[in-house]
Every structure is written in structure tokens, then in C-alpha cells.
Amino acid sequence: MMFTLLDKLIDTLESNPNKELAEIKQITTATAQALKQFNDKRPTSETFDGCWQSLVETLDECALCVGALIAVKMDSQPLLQKLGKLDFLIKQKTDQIVFIFGSEPDCQLATKLTNEAARRFWVTTFGANACMVPFEEFVRELARVSGLSGELSAEDIEALREYLAFTGNSLGVSVYELEIFRKSFGPLTGCVNRLLLPFKLGILANVAHTTAQSANTLLTGRSAGSYLVRLSKSNPGTFAVTYIDSKLKIKHCLLYPAQPYGLTLKEPPEVYPSLDAFVKAHGSRLVTPVGTLVQ
């Protein structure tokens, strides 16, 4: 079903050459290529089946959205915004499948985590071959290893759900999602606060799969210094910063994870320990956060 759905969707996109559909065409074509390795041989795993079905459902929703956009001749802004979110999810769900079940499928899953502390946390807490962990259990253990004091509020938990379970898979938090979360908010010690503080301040978009188009729409007409930070779709673990410059133009830049930890616009030595530290260092340009207004 997956490949039939992909073929039909790609054919539809190719027969309707329109710049509004160019990005989703690129993503679906890349998805078909990335999943070829599972065409003849797929892992015997309930988790794989769950991830596969989750991607099928998103692609099916995407096909319906594309059909609706073509029917209204591309003039529906809500449909375009929805398509952008589906585009994000397709990319992340595909990356998750390939990360977990692709190269070296028989190795211990924890070895795929590139950070030693994250790898040790996963092995000692959930087991070397655990693939996914129920969300509530994972959050409890992450809060512990992060050194968080006090109880998480319902709002805190929903913020963590947005940025931990960002593939939208109901099975739980995967080893892939920890890998990306750690790149974005690591190291593990203090990682929960490094998410919650910018989230509450509106620095970080309150929807993890906020698209560039949604950011542009939200910032259009706002004053210089308005900004938001969101996850980058094309560079997992990287943040995209969208802001209004002094000439009232919308600008975009990427904020990369630095080694051993931190964030940087370029190569070190300009490394910032957290998103809020980055914003403070650029206070003349990043003045008014609008992340809480994302829908």
C-alpha cells in the first residue's frame, strides 16, 4: 500500500507543475527513494509495522490535501499551511524509519545514539534493544536524568510532547526522537529546562512542526524585532530562526547544534548554551517573541 500510495501521489504532483507543490513533491520523491530498501524485505516487528502505518496515514492525508488544493486551484491558504505540516511529518516519519530499521538493522538500537551520555541513559533505563518507550515513562525518566526539581505541570508535559514525540507516532518516544531532541536541547543534564524556558517565553514556537510558510504568515505586518524559533525540517536537530529586520523584511537563518554542546550560527567560538542565551545575545534584533501565537 505504501509504494502504491507514493506512486500515485508523485504522479499527481508531476502532472500538476506548480511552485506551491514543489516542496511536497521533493519530499515524497525522497521518501520513495529512502524506503526502497524495505520494498522486498521488511523487519518483523510490531514497532516497524506501527511506524510504517503511521507514515501511510500521513501520506494518505497528504494525498487528500493535494487533491483539495488542485481542486481549488491553489488559492487556499489553510490548505497550504496544512500541507506544510504534513510535509514536515512525512520527512520526520521517514527519517525515523530509516534511522531505526535501516542500515545495520541487527545491531543494538542504543548504539545508533551518537552521544555517549544519551546512549548510557537509554541502555540503563530502557534496555539496549528498546525501540520506543511509552511517553509518560520516558518523560518521567528524562526529568530525573535532567536534574529537574519539582513536578511537571500539564502545560510542561504538553510542551515536552510537542518536542519529544514530534513524529506524531502514538507508540511512544523512539530512539530516533531522543537523538534529535538531544541535538537540539542537549546535554541531557538540564535539557528539560532548556526546552521549557524558551517555550514558555514564546521564543520557541508552541507547535513543533511549524513551517516556514506559517512563520512568514504569522510575522507578516509585525514590527521590527518580532521573531520565533522553530525546528528545521531539512536539518533535524537544527533550529530555524525567523525574524523581522530593521527594514521590515522577513529573514530566516539556521541555528546549528555545536559540539560538544550548545548552539551556533556559524562555526565556534560563537557558541550559545541555550536558545534563551542566543536571544539575549541578539537582543537588538530579536525583541518580541511570537511563538505562543503559532496555531
Q: pLDDT per residue over 193-249, tens digit each? A: 999 999 999 999 999 889 888 899 999 999 999 999 999 988 889 999 999 999 999
Q: Which three cell numbers stand for residue 115?
A: 552521544
Is 207 a domain residue?
Answer: no
The answer to the question of residue 206 being in a domain is no
Question: Domain holding 236: CATH number?
Answer: 3.30.505.10
Tell me which residue of 218, 229, 130, 116 sits closest to 176, measured CA to CA.
130
Rounded to the nearest integer, the mean pLDDT of the chain is 91
> Are 219 and 288 part of one and the same domain?
yes
20 and 97 assigned to the same domain: yes
Q: Are residues 161 and 125 in the same domain?
A: yes
CATH of the domain at 145: 1.10.238.10
Q: Does 130 lie in the same domain as 78? A: no
Predicted local confidence at residue 19, as pLDDT: 80
Q: Are residues 61 and 87 in the same domain?
A: yes
CA 29 from centre of chain: 19
Q: Answer yes or no: is 205 within a domain.
A: no
pTM above 0.95, yes or no: no
Tell me, yes or no, whether 176 and 248 share the same domain.
no
- 194, with CB counted inside 10 A (0-12, 13-18, 19+), is buried
**Among 277, 278, 289, which Cα is nearest to 223's?**
289
Domain containing residue 240: 212-293
Instruction: Give the whole-angstrom CA distance, residue 85 versus residue 76.
Output: 15
